[in-house]
Amino acid sequence: MAAVPRAGRARGRPEKIAPPGRVRFLAPVLSPNRRAFVAWFLVFAWLGVLLTASGDSFSFARSSRFLRPLLEWLLPNLPEEQMWRVVAGARKLAHVAEYFLLALLARRAWRLTGVARGLAFSGLHLALLAFGLATAGAALDEYRQSFTSSRQGSGWDVLLDASGAALGLLCLRLFLVWRERRRAACQPARPSGKGS
């Protein structure tokens, strides 16, 4: 029986093969446009989770019903005043973590959109686009909170969310620089080509 050529090769496109040791989930299966669509779907799904969490059901009073018993179990001798400070701190840390992830998802979506459209975004452009989207999401979240009965919108929370987005993008940049240096260090040294 003759081998059937793959769809990508039949159209004259070269087949992309991941380097040894790297597995790319769904990369050979999805076209660049579909990968960009999936990336944007994840961005807006996460933004939907954030906007849902900004409602009354996740207010300070309601979320402390879960956090407080956990803290009492972990730290039984913690005074009452410090208990509330820890709960408030955990909620602020959640703000940072939520927008840390949103910025990373947005950067990936912008990068894949650039690949699908044949645009070459620099790392700085990707970071600025992702930061802008995450900050706009934070402002929308706080604006929505201003209409709920148990919460209030705060410019400080927008600033906190934006700092979480910036921290996420900075951590990603540091990781990418580290990875490139590691790859360069693993490359065998090429001879200079000078005769002896």
pLDDT at residue number 126 = 94
**Of 67-71, 87-91, 180-184, which has the strongest mean pLDDT?**
180-184
Residue 47, domain member (yes or no): yes
* Residue 123 exposure: Cα atoms within 13 Å on the Cβ side: 8
Percent of the chain surpassing pLDDT 70: 73
pLDDT at residue number 57 = 58
Residue 89, domain member (yes or no): no
Q: How far is CA 174 from the centre of its chain?
A: 15
Residue 60, domain member (yes or no): no
Please say if the pLDDT value at position 8 is more than 50: no
How many domains does the chain divide into?
1
Q: How confident is the model at residue 22 (pLDDT cuts 50, 70, 90)?
A: low
Q: Each residue of 90-148: pLDDT tens digit?
A: 888 988 999 999 999 999 999 999 988 888 889 899 999 999 999 999 999 888 887 77
The mean per-residue pLDDT over the stretch 178-191 comes to: 84
Residue 18, domain member (yes or no): no
Q: Closest Cα to residue 126, out of 181, 180, 173, 162?
A: 173
- For residue 137, give its domain range: 30-54+95-183
Residue 150, domain member (yes or no): yes
Joined together, the tokens standing for residue 162 give 């934006």
Residue 121, domain member (yes or no): yes
For tokens 């009073």, name the residue: 61
Residue 196, domain member (yes or no): no
Residue 76, domain member (yes or no): no
Q: What pTM did the predictor assign? A: 0.72
Q: How far is CA 47 from the centre of its chain?
A: 11
- Please state the three-class secondary structure of the chain as a single string: CCCCCCHHHHCCCCCCCCCCCCCCCCCCCCCHHHHHHHHHHHHHHHHHHHHHHCCHHHCHHHHHHHHHHHHHHHCCCCCHHHHHHHHHHHHHHHHHHHHHHHHHHHHHHHHHHHHHHCCCCCHHHHHHHHHHHHHHHHHHHHHHHCCCCCCCCCHHHHHHHHHHHHHHHHHHHHHHHHHHHHHHHHCCCCCCCCCC
Q: How confident is the model at residue 41 (pLDDT cuts 50, 70, 90)?
A: very high
Please say if the pLDDT value at position 192 is more than 80: no
Residue 118's Cβ-count burial label (10 Å; 0-12, 13-18, 19+) is exposed
The mean per-residue pLDDT over the stretch 27-55 comes to: 86
